Amino acid sequence: MISKEPSWAVSPSNKIQINSVAIDAKGKYSIFGSSSEFDSGCFAVYCYNAEGKQCWQQPISMEPSYQGVFWVAISNDGCYAAAGGELAKKGDGFLHAYSVEDGTSLLKVKLKARVNQVSLSHDGQLLLAIFDDTVQLYQLKAGQYQMVSDTTFPGFSCNSCALSDNGQHAVVSTIKYNDDNNTTTGKIAAFDIVSNKLKALSPCILPVGSMRVAITDSGKNWGASLHDGSCVAFSHGNPNTALWQYKPSIDGLELAYGFDMTQTSDETILLAVGANKSGIKQGCVYLLESADSKALLKWQADLDYAANPGISLDKEGLYVTATDGQPTDENVKVVQESPGHFYLFDGKTGTQQWKYKTTLMNWPMMINYNGDKIIGASDNGTAYFWEK
């Protein structure tokens, strides 16, 4: 089992929060970036090896920036990394890519809004990024990433994206906030990637906003967590209609920030969801199996605080990770936070393997593809690494 006590922990960003982490398939390298949700600072992207040694760090700007790094990714082969986020309050976003070996810059562009998520194919030859209403696909050519395809979703905001491991398919989550009645609408858009171009499939319109998406290695199945705490699944054969939508019988369930899915070697499709509970400021995690166009609840478990995006699965679904924590008073000028936890659950039974407490809330946590190493990070500015 993966040990409860981290094999190492580092705080390279002077206690500035860390919003996103990524780890390659073998767990040889971990990537994370510093950020501040409500302030400016000097932010950077960091690369560490499995022994806890810093391989490199790269500032996102030579000047102080607003918010900083929002999302990072690393190719499963451990060769390429990407980061996106925000540079200024007026909405200037950035998208950067690197060689993991030495931190060499392979892409550095400014965009019109914060980059909300980035995703890489297994070999890092393709990079997917989203910002505002836009999706962009980049290809590695002659040692640099070049934008080769893009599309927009007018009226919707792109909040999550995923590229299949084989680089042949992609999926994007979008949301529209309906101010007149305080509701949301969602659109899940899937693509085939043909000759390195995004070829749109028929999208699915949902009566509630989608929050996060994930896709299987083959790209033939994908899913999303929704604004009401539920989950939907899709197949390539019928992309504009959900195979099913599932919401567990949990009082006050809402806002599912955390989501991941995998197709195991025996072709079982598993989906893990982390959702919040209204009023009581708690969260939960639940695991589903998608079978015969229906969802089978495998297990569900409570979290001490609101669930955050640190839900992840290894390839075989042996483990599920989760994170929690939330602001304690949203009406004060200086945001105060609850403590947080990192969780590890047994993927088959839902038994909590361990819970690791931190002084402030935790947002990201990711188990590697092989299921033997984990990287997580906290708003206290520390990144933690666990292994068997």
**Domain holding 212: CATH number?**
2.130.10.10
Counting the structural domains of the chain, the total is 2
DSSP state of 42: -
Nearest alpha carbon to residue 146 among 109, 190, 115: 109
Query: Which tokens in the block code for residue 63?
Result: 């000047």
Residues 251 and 382 in one domain: yes
pLDDT at 252: 87
CA distances for 238 relative to 204, 211, 242, angstroms? 10, 21, 8
Shared domain check, 380 and 250: yes
| Whether 316 and 174 share a structural domain | yes
- The reported pLDDT for the residue numbered 330 is 60
Q: pLDDT tens for residues 45-63?
A: 999 999 999 999 999 999 9
pLDDT level of residue 37 (50, 70, 90 thresholds): confident
Residue 11's DSSP bridge partners are none
Decide if 141 is inside a domain.
no
Structure confidence at residue 292 as a pLDDT band (50, 70, 90): confident
Mean pLDDT to the nearest integer, 97-120: 98
Q: Which of 250, 167, 163, 176 is nearest to 213 (CA)?
A: 163
- Residues 99, 159, single domain; the answer is no
Asked whether residue 332 carries a pLDDT value surpassing 60, the answer given is: no
Residue 89: band (very low, low, confident or very high) from pLDDT cuts 50, 70, 90: confident
Same domain for 299 and 158, yes or no, is yes
- The residue out of 77, 98, 131 marking a domain boundary is 131
pLDDT (average), residues 291-296: 94
Question: Does residue 159 register a pLDDT over 80?
Answer: yes
- The reply to whether 167 and 296 lie within a common domain is yes
| Claim to verify: residue 47 and residue 183 sit in the same structural domain | no
Residue 64 placed within a domain: yes
- Residue-number span of the structural domain to which 212 is assigned: 153-388
**Residue 279 scores a pLDDT above 80:** no
Q: Is 145 among the domain residues?
A: no
Asked whether residue 280 is domain-assigned, the answer is yes
218 shares a domain with 304? yes
Q: Tens of pLDDT along 177-207? A: 987 768 999 999 999 999 999 999 999 999 9
Residue 143 is assigned to a structural domain of this protein: no
Residues 232 and 339 in one domain: yes
Please tell me the least confidently modeled range out of 158-167, 307-316, 320-329, 345-354: 320-329
Last residue of a domain, one of 73, 96, 131: 131
Question: Residue 290's pLDDT is what?
Answer: 98
Q: Would you say residue 218 has pLDDT above 70?
A: yes
Residue 344: per-residue pLDDT = 98
Residue 103 in any domain: the answer is yes
Rounded to an integer, what distance in angstroms lies between the CA atom of residue 226 and that of residue 228? 5
State the distance between the two ends of the chain, measured CA to CA, in whole angstroms: 6
66 lies in a domain? yes
Distances 334 to 39, 326, 330 between C-alpha atoms, Å:
11, 14, 9
Confidence of residue 144 (pLDDT cuts 50, 70, 90): very high
Same domain for 308 and 237, yes or no, is: yes
Q: Is residue 136 part of a domain?
A: no
Say if residue 321 is in the same domain as residue 355: yes
Does 158 share its domain with 230? yes
In our burial notation (b when 16+ CB lie closer than 10 A, e otherwise), range 283-313 reads bbbbbbebeeeebeebbbbebbbbbbbbbbb
Tokens at 219, concatenated? 């790209």
Beta bridge partners of 387: 373
